Homo-oligomer: A and B are copies of this chain.
Amino acid sequence: MINKLINKIQKTKAPIVVGLDPMLSYVPEHIQKKAFDEFGETLEGAAEAIWQFNKEIVDKTYDLIPAVKPQIAMYEQFGIEGLKAYKKTVDYCKSKDLVVIGDIKRGDIGSTSAAYATGHLGKVQVGSKTYAGFDEDFATVNPYLGSDGVKPFIDVCKQEKKGLFILVKTSNPSSGEFQDQLINGKPLYEMVGEKVAQWGEDHMGDSYSYIGAVVGATYPEQGEILRKVMPKSFILVPGYGAQGGKGKDLVHFFNEDGLGAIVNSSRGIIAAYKQEAYAKFGAENFGDASRAAVEAMIADIQGALDAAL
C-alpha cells in the first residue's frame, strides 16, 4: 500500500492528503436541511448530512489527490450512526481509488491492539467465514504502550499489505509536555522516531517502509531532525493551514527524492467556502471551493519543494 501511495503521489504531483473531519457546523445549510427533512434532527440525520458533505468534496477533488484521511472521532461523536457514515466514506473513497488513511490513533496492550488491527486493517473470523470491519488502507497508532502494543498492527499490515503512521511528534500546542522531555539528552519523540525506523526496517515497500510516522507541520525543526532519524519512513504531516503550517516550512519533512512526506489539511480544504479567499463560490458550491483550496495547497507545497530541491 505504501507503493500505491507513492505511485499516486507521483501521478498527481500532490504530496497531500485531504482530512475528512466534518463538523456539523461545516456542512452548508442546504445539505443539513435536506438531511433533516428526510431523517429529522436525529443522529441519523446528522450522519446523512456529513456523508453527503463528504461525497461532494470527494467528487470534486478525487482526481487531484492521492489520499484522504477521515478522522474517526468526528464520526464517533454521533455514535453508531456516525460510524456508519465513516464506513460509507471509507468505502466510497476506495471506490474512487483513493488511499484511505484511517486517523484512529488506537493503541493498547497486545491482544487488544490485535483486535483494533483486525477491525481496521485486517479480517475477522466468524465461524468458517472472514469479514473486513472498517478496512482502511493505513491507520494511525499511538505508541505510548511500547512495542507489544504496536507489533499486532504491524503483523496485520504485513499480511494485508497495508501500513501505519505512528504518532511521534504531534501538532498540538502541548505535544511537548511529554514528547519533548529529555531522556539521556534526547527528547522522547526522537526515541519514538528511532523505534519507528527500527520497526520499519523489516517492513519495506520498494523504496519506503510500510511503517510511517506522524510529525506535526507546526514543529518544522523537529521535522528536520526526525526526517534524518527515519530516512525510510513516510511522514504524515498534520497541522498545515488552519493549525498554522505553510509550504515553505515543510520542505525539510521531505527527502531529496522529493518524497517521504504527505501533508494533511482538513478544515482548510473541507470548509474552504467559509474562508474569505473562497467566499465567491458560495455555500451552494462548497465542493468547488474545496477543489480550489486543494489546487492552492498543491501549488504552495509543490512550489516550495521545487524551489528547495
Chain B residues positioned under 8 Å from A132 (CB to CB): 79
Q: A145-B174, A171-B109, A174-B145 are in contact. Are A124 and B46 (CB under 8 A)?
A: yes
What are 30 of the A-B contact pairs (CB < 8 Å)?
A24-B125, A32-B127, A41-B126, A42-B126, A43-B126, A43-B133, A73-B106, A73-B108, A73-B119, A76-B115, A76-B119, A76-B134, A78-B126, A79-B132, A80-B80, A83-B83, A105-B142, A109-B170, A109-B172, A109-B238, A144-B144, A145-B170, A146-B175, A147-B174, A148-B172, A148-B173, A149-B172, A177-B195, A178-B192, A183-B183
Q: A107-B142, A112-B73 are in contact. Are A119 and B178 (CB under 8 A)?
A: no
**Shortest CB distance A246–B (Å):** 19
Q: Does A62 reach chain B (CB closer than 8 Å)?
A: no
CB nearest to A21 among chain B residues: B112
Q: Does A52 reach chain B (CB closer than 8 Å)?
A: no
* Bound CA span A175–B148, Å: 8
**B-contacting residues of A (Cβ < 8 Å)?**
21, 24, 32, 36, 41-43, 45-46, 71, 73-74, 76-80, 82-84, 87, 105-110, 112-113, 115-116, 118-120, 124-129, 131-134, 142-149, 167, 170-179, 181-184, 188, 191-192, 195, 238
Assess whether A82 is in contact with B126, with CB atoms less than 8 Å apart.
no
Copies in the complex: 2
**Shortest CB distance A129–B (Å):** 5
